[in-house]
A and B are shown apart, each in its own frame.
Chain A
Amino acid sequence: MSAFLHRGEWLGKMEEGRADTWDGVFTHLEMLEAQAHEAGRRQEERQQQEEKLASLKERVEELRMQRDQLRAKVDLQQKKQSGKEGIVSDAAEPSAGAVLEWKIRSIKGMLQIFYLTGISGKLTKRGVCFSISTAYEGTYLDSYYLDLLTKPAVRIHRHSVPIFIPLEQISKRYLQTDIRRFLSVLSDHLNAYAGRKYQADQLQEHFSDQLEGSLQRNSLCNLLVFNYKMPSEDKTFPFSARLIYGDLCCSLPTEVIVSCTVKPHESLEETAAAHSELFRHTALHKVFCTFRSAEEKVDGAP
């Protein structure tokens, strides 16, 4: 609300010729207008805040009710299940759509098991798209796809196999004659690569304090070079290891050279030789695990 002086009063004031009063009036007017505007804005803001709070509160209560209802449903279902072993058919007559949805979920579950077997896929308009999964022991790693066309002859349309895997060589040998064998050999290569990579990654991630700098490796992860030390040692990295994985379908090295970086004494050389044997037969990160636990045993000894 603006203070609004009668026009006549203004003119009157003007006629009196008091310029400063005129200015003062204007300033006063502006100030009052600003104040009123500000008050109006604050009022609006307050109203909005209140409305927002109210709606949030409503939403919270709505969600709380929904959550409680769901919780009750889940609890009831769990009680039903623990009461009887095995399979219970729903009391209410399920809709045809619900039955189909159940079947769809059930099949998807089986397809997931196929993924776990290492070779799965789906039919496409012009052929099949296979998916080769890789794992190191119980941990699943990357999977790779191969989009195959089947007519007029079997050929690879697209794939995500890394370039350093000899895909062309393998497909030349087996693709036309025995697709299963082709996928099997390719799976061996990919799983061995994934296994080598996993070991190197685990070493880098969990035992970096025992490594000098970072592990050197090639993209195929079949050549690893690193300098390392035992957990208890101070600053020098007395051992230098060079692991060569000659068999591309294997995740253990075919050749290991452990040498001493410092001038070696007999026991150090013996240790290097022992380590060499270890690396040949045990996974890389597991070897370092045993180093650590061996040291702990020594520490723990009275």
Chain B
Amino acid sequence: MDIGTCQVYEDEIKSLEEEIKLLAEQYKDLQQESTFYSEEEILTAIKAFQSEFQRESKGHEFQSDLKAQLENLEADLGFLMKFTCIQFTSHSKRTVERNRNRTVQKHRVSGKCHSLSFQLEFQLLEIKDEEKVSTVITDLSIIMESGEDSNVSKFVSRTEEHGHLLAFFRSLSSYAEWYEHRRSTFQHFKLYLLLSDPYISLTIAVAVVSGTVVQSTAATLPHFKIQLKMNKWEGDKSGEYFLSCLLYLKQFEKIFVQMNIDNEGIYLFLEDV
């Protein structure tokens, strides 16, 4: 009978120890998630830390480790942001559930990749199963500033639907880099339309820094076509050309300009008002 009681106590001790561990983690989560220190406060803390360390020789290793650890982590993060061109401007998380083998956290992240800004919200589920930890994303919600851009909205809706956060970032990264390249390339692309008499002749002067003018026609009709060959974004497997360019049109007369963009190029239709 004594042995039985012993076992009961031992079982309770084990379950209490587990419960304490969980509660401690929960408390740490709550503390972490409800606190915020500005960069200034952090610098102050580092200075205070260093002077504390210089005064006391106790706990020497632990203290220098903490500062060194912070420096290493900041260096890693800085490198990654620079290398991938993905800058996270804010990240907040809230632990919604924490059990022995399950943790659910709600994350909110905002940042930009090159010049494209994004805002994400998702739920992260971590399941501990013997030695492996599996991570699953659910409830992914993506907001992008350039949401009207059809290419962007395509990969946003596709990846959001399946919670495919990784694919979103891979697509975003590749698209943003391509977009950046084109943006800087076509910054100097100017299309000048000089009109003297819309029904007799149209003189087109095209200044292109990069990109190729395939065909330009001067016509007597108030329509003309300029075909421009643009590079295709490789990530887009649907085979569509994406065009986005800066057009500076100099208007001398009142002309209604209609612009069509499709696979082949830009078509400018000029009509008299």
Instruction: Please give the residue numbers on chain A whose beta carbons come within 8 Å of chain B beta carbons, in ascending order.
Output: 49, 52-53, 56-57, 59-60, 63-64, 66-67, 70-71, 73-74, 77-78, 80-81, 87-90, 96-97, 99-111, 113-114, 116-123, 128, 133-135, 137-140, 179-180, 184, 187-188, 191
Contacts and interface: CB of A to CB of B under 8 A. Distances in A.
Contacts of A78: 30
Nearest to B39: A103
B205 interface: no
Contacts of A121: 76, 79-80, 83
Interface string B146-183: 00000000000000001111110110011001000000
Interface string B35-50: 1110001101110110
B138 A52 contact: no
B169 A117 contact: yes
Nearest to A55: B9
Interface of B: 2, 5-6, 9-10, 12-13, 16-17, 19-20, 23-24, 26-27, 30-37, 41-42, 44-46, 48-49, 52, 63, 66-67, 69-70, 72-77, 79-80, 83-84, 86, 88, 91, 93, 107, 109, 124, 134-138, 140, 162-167, 169-170, 173-174, 177
**DSSP class of B's interface residues: helix, strand, loop or mixed?**
helix
B75 A123 contact: yes
Contacts of B19: 67
Contacts of A118: 166, 169-170
A138 B136 contact: yes
B2 A63 contact: no
Nearest to B162: A137
B9 A53 contact: yes
A251 to B, nearest CB: 11
Contact of A107 (B26, B70, B167, B174): B70
Contact of B16 (A60, A87, A101): A60
Contacts, number: 182
Contacts of A77: 27, 30-31, 34
Contact of B66 (A57, A97, A119, A128): A97
A59 B13 contact: yes
A184 to B, nearest CB: 7
5 contacts: A81-B33, A113-B107, A117-B84, A140-B134, A140-B136
A77 B67 CA distance: 28
A180 B74 CA distance: 21
A295 B151 CA distance: 38
B170 A187 contact: yes
Contacts of A120: 80
What are the 8 A-B residue pairs with the smallest beta carbon separation, nearest first? A138-B163, A99-B45, A117-B169, A56-B9, A138-B137, A63-B16, A96-B48, A70-B23
Nearest to A188: B170
Contacts of A180: 83-84, 177
Contacts of A122: 76
B79 A123 contact: yes
B35 A90 contact: yes
Contacts of A140: 134-137, 166
A128 B79 contact: yes
B12 A60 contact: yes
A117 B34 CA distance: 25
B29 to A, nearest CB: 9
Given A52-B6, A77-B30, A138 B162 contact: yes
Nearest to A108: B73
A60 B72 CA distance: 42
Nearest to A136: B164
Given A113-B91, A113-B109, 14 more contacts: A59-B9, A59-B13, A60-B16, A67-B16, A70-B23, A73-B27, A81-B33, A102-B32, A106-B91, A107-B77, A114-B86, A117-B173, A122-B76, A139-B134
